[in-house]
Amino acid sequence: MKELPDWYYDEFIQKGTDYTSEEEIQNYDRKMRTIRNIAEEAETMIKLIDLRPDHNVLEIGCGTGEFSIELSRYCKQVLALDISQGMLEFAREKSITRGRDNIDFTKAGFLTFEPKGKEFDAVVTQLVLHHLPDFWKLIALRNVNSMLKPGGKFYLKDVVFSSDTRDFDFYFSQVFQKMPPEAGDEIINEMKLHIKEEFSTFDWVMEGLIEKAGFRIEQSQYQNGFMATYLCIKK
């Protein structure tokens, strides 16, 4: 891991949901299944980055490993990072159960990973970047840029708020009301914690950050006023 100056942001401190908690780790996949279609998300990611058998891919914030495992079926090697040791252990066990042997799991994050000269064909990250305040998002995105081969692809999916929303009180009350009943209070409470304590930013800020970090945005998609997906190319 990189040695950082003492004024650096400590990305290992959990803000909002605590992804080092054993309860969170054990329940994460069950909760996600109530609001997400993981197989579909993985397929979209794999298609967008045009994953090939000779590719080396980096996933930042792999959580329980679902996406690293899917990616590993179609490429040479996946390096999966997370700042939560518990998540990494859970993901590693899952990858063994699913017969994957081309994934390395490493404890590090956007700010602390040291690539040691290694360059990747693609970097993917989803629902992770919002853990950093905006200043640190730019540092993180520049780090990602420096780890990619020229023309390398960066897939970023995260909670990004729409600057067209005028009345956030009304907007969020609607979002909570429209949650599928099987999601239950625990997901709504996590969303509230997200808005209150985590660092999701606005669409125009995110686009600016991505461009300032040295990427061209090839495709962007915004859903429901709070979810964004970007396919970015290293310039």
Give the pairing of strands 103-107 and 120-126.
unpaired
Is residue 95 within the footprint of ligand SAM (CB under 6 A)?
Answer: no
Is residue 127 within the footprint of ligand SAM (CB under 6 A)?
Answer: yes
Residue 93: CB partners within 8 Å, gap ≥ 6? Answer: none
Q: Which is nearer to ligand SAM, 32 or 175 (CB)?
A: 32
Q: Which of 224, 131, 228, 126 is nearest to 179 (CA)?
A: 224
Is residue 105 within the footprint of ligand SAM (CB under 6 A)?
Answer: no
Is residue 84 within the footprint of ligand SAM (CB under 6 A)?
Answer: yes
**Region binding ligand SAM by CB under 6 A among candidate stretches 55-63, 69-77, 197-205, 223-231:** 55-63
Of these, 82, 90, 201, 226, which contacts ligand SAM (CB under 6 A)? 82
**Region binding ligand SAM by CB under 6 A among candidate stretches 82-90, 181-189, 203-211, 212-220:** 82-90
**Region binding ligand SAM by CB under 6 A among candidate stretches 121-129, 179-187, 196-204, 216-224:** 121-129
Q: How far is the CB of 70 from ligand SAM (least distance, A)?
A: 11
Count of CB atoms situated within 10 Å of the CB of 203? 17
Q: Which is nearer to ligand SAM, 24 or 167 (CB)?
A: 24
**Region binding ligand SAM by CB under 6 A among candidate stretches 42-50, 80-88, 141-149, 206-214:** 80-88
Binding site for ligand SAM (CB under 6 A): 11, 19, 32, 60-63, 81-84, 87, 109-110, 126-128, 131-132
